[in-house]
Amino acid sequence: MAFQLKMNRSAKEKHSNLILALDLPPLEPSQLLSRSINLLEKVYPYICAVKINRHLVLPLGLSNGIQKIVGFAHDLGLPAIMDCKINDIGNTNRVIAELYYNAGFDAVIANPFVGWDEGLQPVFETAKKQHRGVILLVYMSHKGALEGYGQKIIESKDGKLTSQYLVFAEKALSWNADGAVVGATFPEKIEEIYAVLKERVPIYSPGVGAQGGNIGAAVVAGARYLIVGRSITLAEDPENTARSLRDIINECAKNSLED
A 10 A CB-CB count for 142 gives 12
DSSP string of 8-42, one letter each residue: HHHHHHHT--EEEE----S--HHHHHHHHHHHHHH
Please confirm, yes or no, whether 189 is among the known catalytic residues.
no
CB atoms within 10 A of CB 55: 19
Inter-residue contact 217 to 9 (CB < 8 Å): no
- What's the CA gap between 138 and 58, in Å, rounded? 25
Tell me which amino acid residue 161 is: L
Spot the catalytic one: 6, 12, 14, 85: 85
Note the residue count of the chain.
259
Catalytic residues: 85
